[in-house]
Amino acid sequence: MGAAGYEIAPFGNQTVFSRVVGPSGIAGTRSGTTHEGSFNAGHETTGSASIASDNGFSTWLDASLNKYMDAELGYTRSAHYDLNSVSFSLGFNVGRLLRTEK
């Protein structure tokens, strides 16, 4: 089990490349958001450091499923962009899988 807080505090001019708005300028939709990020403004946005700043927290839970495999479930909250992310991953110990037991 773990948790962490983060603060992204850039300085100088910044350029943000969006994964939401394509080069054609057509954006996907995000319903229910109250904060707009620079990634929603266009495919490429240049401006002051404030366009790339963010803060929030992450928390996760790890579990060893067996001697060959681990699983992790995580949650990240961006306070600045009003964005929630959930992740799930599986890890495999390849060295242990390839070792022959005697």
- pTM confidence score: 0.65
Contact of 25 with 42, CB cutoff 8 Å: yes
Which tens digit of pLDDT belongs to each residue from 40-63? 666 777 888 888 888 999 999 999
3-state SS, residue 15: strand
The whole-number pLDDT of residue 46 equals 82
Q: Give 27's DSSP letter.
A: B
Q: Which of 23, 6, 81 is nearest to 50 (CA)?
A: 81
Contact of 51 with 18, CB cutoff 8 Å: no
Q: Where are the domains of the chain?
A: 2-98
93: left (phi over 0), alpha (psi -120 to 50) or beta: beta
Residue 36 has pLDDT above 90, yes or no: no
